[in-house]
Chains A and B, each alone.
Chain A
C-alpha cells in the first residue's frame, strides 16, 4: 500500500515534464482493453488491462534474435542476453535479478531465432522497478570483457547440457542446419561451439549498440495495471533514449529445395529416433491454418491418427507425433517425429508416419475429426490465456509478425479450414522433395559394459 502511494507521488512529481513533451508526438490508440502508444523515439507500448490478474507482467521485446547474426558469430544474440544481467554503471554488476526478487518478483529472458525478450512478473504496484531497470539496461550496460569471457563459459555449459549430451536435440539441430541453404534459421540460437569459443566483448558491443534501440523494440505490459500511470512511467524512463539508425528488415528468400536431404547421427543412445522436417509457410499464408489443423488431425492427443496407429495399434513407437507452429516470422518447418520402441525398426516408424500423411492425401478427414481438431486448437488457445504472462506473450508474437491485431484473426482462420484445405496442404507441402530427415542411430561403446551397474562406494567418515 505504502509503495503504491510512493509510486503515485513519484510520478506526479516527475512525470508531467517529460509527459507534456512526449504526448505531443506520441501516437495513441485504444481498442477494447488494449492501449497502444508509439513514443517519438519509435518505442511501441502495448498495454493490456486484465483486472482479474493478481499480478502484472512487463516484457520488452527486441528484434535481435539469432537471424541477425553474422556468419562465424553464431550465439552472440543469446550471449548478449546473458550479459544484460551483468549490470550497468548505475546499478552495478549482478544486481538485476536480486532487485526483482527482493520485490517478490520473478524475472528471466529468452532468445529465439526471431527475437530476444526480457520479462518480470511483479505485483502491479511494483512495475515501476521493471520500467526503470529495463530502460537503464537498454542503454547503459557495462559489459566487462572479463565477465564476457566468464559468461561465455556458462553458455558453453548450457550448450553441452542442451545439445551435446542430448542425442535427440543434437539430431534436431542438425536437421534444421541441413534444411536451410541460405536462411539464417539454419544456425542454432545457442551458437556452434566453435563460434562461441571466439566471441568477444567487441562482437557483442557492436550488436548491442545497433539493435538495442527504442525503434527496434516494443513493450508489452499486462495485468491488473493502471494504464495511465504505467504509460507515463514508460514515457519518463524510456522517452529520453535516442532513436537508433533504422535497421533493415531481414530479406532473405530460401531457395526452392530440389530433393530430399537425409542425415544420420551415430551417438551413444538407447533408442533410435527419426525427425522429418518439411519447409512450410508461416501465418502470412492462408495455408498455415490448414497446416495447423493437419498437425492436430495427425497428433492432437491419444485419439488422433499417429498415436492410434503407431503407438496403440502397431506398437512400434514409444512416442510419435506431428508439430507445426505458424508464428515464426519467416517460413519454417512442419515436423513428423517418432522414437522406436525397443526392438522396433526406425524405418518402420518413419514409413508409418508417411503412411498417415498419405491417408490424408487420398481421403479427406471426416467431419467429426475436423471438428475435433478445431475444438482442440480453440480450447488450447483459450486455456493458455489463464496466465497473464502467456497472454502478453501472444500479443508479442503477433506483433513480431507484423501486428498484434492478427491475433484476433487466428481462430477465425482456423474455423474456416475445410477438409479439402487439409488435403490440399498435405499434398502441396508434406512431400518428399521438401523434406530433410534426421535419424539417430544409437551406438554402444566400451563404456556401455558398465552402464547398467553404477559403481557404489561407501566410506567410513572422517
Chain B
C-alpha cells in the first residue's frame, strides 16, 4: 500500500523536471526487435545497477467494476512464477541484498530491480521470470486481497489519505483518474485469477514497455543480458483502448468528512492539464510562484510565514497522459480552516489578475532550470525519469531543450495561464476535520 503511494509521489515529482543547462545525461537509446525501448545510462560511482520497467498496464485499462486489477496484477507478478514460488523469489533476491518488485499507477505500472553489479545475472533472471512468466497462484491472490483491504482500513487513520481520495473522486467522478490505484474492498472482490492472467497476457508486452538501466554497466553488457533473458518476450501489438479525457466540473463541490482530529486537512482544487498541454511550462513557472516553490511561494509566505496557520502548504499540477488535477493542500487547526481557505482563494485570484514581479519570475526560472541535478541525483531517480520522458514522448532532446522551454515563459504567459487554468469559483473543496470545531462556512467568495 505505502509503496503504491510513494510511487505516485515520485511520479508527479518527476513530471516537474528541472534541468540545469550544464547538466548532461548520456543516454543510449535503442529499440529492440520486439519493440522494447531500451535506455541505458552508465554511472560508475558504485558497483550497483538499477532497472525500471514502465509498462502501459495501469488503472486506465481496467473496467470500473474491477478497479484495482492493474495494481493487483503488478503487485502479484512477484507472487510466484512458472519456475519459482513467492518465497523463492524473495529469498533469492534478498540473499544478495537486492530487491525486485512492482507497483501500480494510473498511466503505467513500474517494475523495479535493484542489485549489486556482481549479482546482475541473478537480477535479470528474476526480472525476466516475473515479467514473462507470473503464475498468479490463487492463495497469493487471496492473501494479497486481504492485505490490500487491511491497508485501506489502516489508511482511514490518515486524514491526508482520506482528503486526497475524496478530492480525486469529486473532480474525476467515474473516470479512472478518480479511483484509488488499489481499488476498493468491493471492486477487489470482483477480481479473480483469470482476470489477472488475462490482463497480464494482454498488456505485458515488449512493444508496450520501456526499460531504463542505470548504473555500473555498459550498453553492450545490457544488450547481452537482454538477449540472454528476454529473447522469449514476443511483440504483440497491443490494442490500446481509447481513454476518454475527464470532464471539467460545472459547479462548485464541497466534501466534508467528520473525524475526531485536531487539524482540518484541506484540499482545494479542480481538474488540471494533461502532460502534452503546450502551456505546461508556463504553468510550471506560474505554479512555482503560487505554491510549489516552498518558501519562495506565495502560499507559503502568506499562510505560513505571515499568518502562522500551517506547517506545510503547497500547490501542484499533477499532469497525466489524458488529464490532470490542480490542488492546494494544507493542514491547520480546525478553528483556522475558514481563514486558510479564504487566503488560498485570495492568492489564486491575485495571480489571475496581477502580473507577477520581475524577481518572482526570474527566481522561478533560475530554480527550475538550475536544480535538475539535485532532483535526479540517484540511479533510481534517473531510471524513473527516463521512463517518464519516454512515456510522455518528451523527445530525445528533452534534457537539452528544457531550459529554453522555461526561459521563454513571460509574465504575460503567467497571467494568461493563471486565468485559463485556475478557477476560484468552480472548485472542489474537501475538508476532513472535526466539523463542529471547524464550523466551515457555507460560502466562500
**A residues whose Cβ falls under 8 Å from a Cβ of B:** 50, 52-55, 85, 94, 97-98, 101-106, 121-123, 149-158, 160-161, 164-168, 268-271, 300-304, 308, 311-312, 315, 318, 339, 341-342, 368, 371-372, 375-380, 382-383, 385-389, 445, 447, 450-451, 454-462
Contacts and interface: CB of A to CB of B under 8 A. Distances in A.
B250 to A, nearest CB: 8
Most A Cβ at <10 Å: residue of B95, B255, B374, B426: B374
Contacts of A152: 308
19 contacts: A104-B367, A104-B369, A104-B372, A105-B370, A105-B371, A123-B22, A150-B307, A167-B157, A268-B259, A268-B260, A303-B95, A304-B94, A312-B87, A318-B154, A372-B95, A375-B95, A386-B377, A386-B379, A451-B156
B176 to A, nearest CB: 20
Given A97-B295, A121-B374, A318-B154, A456 B254 contact: yes
Interface string B358-383: 00001100110111111001111000
B263 interface: yes
Interface string B147-159: 1011101101111
Contacts of B378: 386-387
Most A Cβ at <10 Å: residue of B150, B307, B362, B372: B150
Contact of A456 (B170, B333, B371): B170
B308 A150 contact: yes
Given A54-B377, A123-B373, A380-B97, A157 B260 contact: no
A198 B312 CA distance: 23
A303 B94 contact: yes
Given A315-B143, A462-B425, A161 B331 contact: yes
Contacts of B305: 94
Given A52-B45, A268-B260, A376-B97, A458 B252 contact: yes
Nearest to B23: A54
Most A Cβ at <10 Å: residue of B43, B97, B308: B97
Contacts of A451: 156, 257-259
Contacts of A341: 146-147, 150
Nearest to B368: A104
B410 interface: no
Contacts of B373: 54-55, 123
Given A97-B294, A153-B308, A157-B311, 14 more contacts: A54-B23, A103-B366, A123-B22, A164-B262, A165-B262, A165-B263, A302-B90, A318-B151, A387-B377, A456-B253, A456-B254, A456-B255, A457-B253, A461-B426
B66 interface: no
Contacts of A164: 262-263
Given A164-B262, A454-B257, A155 B311 contact: yes
Given A102-B363, A165-B263, A368-B95, A450 B426 contact: no
A90 to B, nearest CB: 18
A301 B95 CA distance: 10
Interface string B294-312: 1110000100111111111
B87 A303 contact: yes
A269 B426 contact: no
B377 A271 contact: no
Contacts of A149: 308
B153 A342 contact: yes
Q: Is the interface of A mostly helix, strand, loop or mixed?
A: mixed
A454 B309 CA distance: 25
Contacts of B333: 156-157, 160
A170 B43 CA distance: 42
Contacts of A372: 91, 94-95
Most B Cβ at <10 Å: residue of A123, A158, A308, A368: A123
Q: Is the interface of B mostly helix, strand, loop or mixed?
A: mixed
Contacts of A156: 333
A459 B251 CA distance: 6
A161 B311 contact: yes
B89 to A, nearest CB: 9
Contacts, number: 219
A168 B156 CA distance: 13
A128 to B, nearest CB: 15
Interface in B24-44: 43-44
A301 B261 CA distance: 34
Given A300-B94, A303-B94, A383 B170 contact: no
Nearest to B432: A454
Contact of B331 (A103, A160, A376): A160
Contacts of B311: 154-155, 157-158, 161
A303 B91 contact: yes
Nearest to A447: B258
Contacts of B252: 458-459, 461
Most A Cβ at <10 Å: residue of B143, B259, B380: B259
Contacts of B46: 382-383, 385-386
B166 interface: yes
B45 A386 contact: yes
B411 to A, nearest CB: 17
Contacts of B23: 54
Given A104-B369, A379-B116, A301 B154 contact: no
Contacts of A311: 147
A383 B48 contact: yes
A450 B257 CA distance: 8
Contacts of A98: 295-296, 363
B198 to A, nearest CB: 26
B332 interface: yes
A457 B95 contact: no
Contacts of B158: 166
A445 B256 contact: no
B54 interface: no
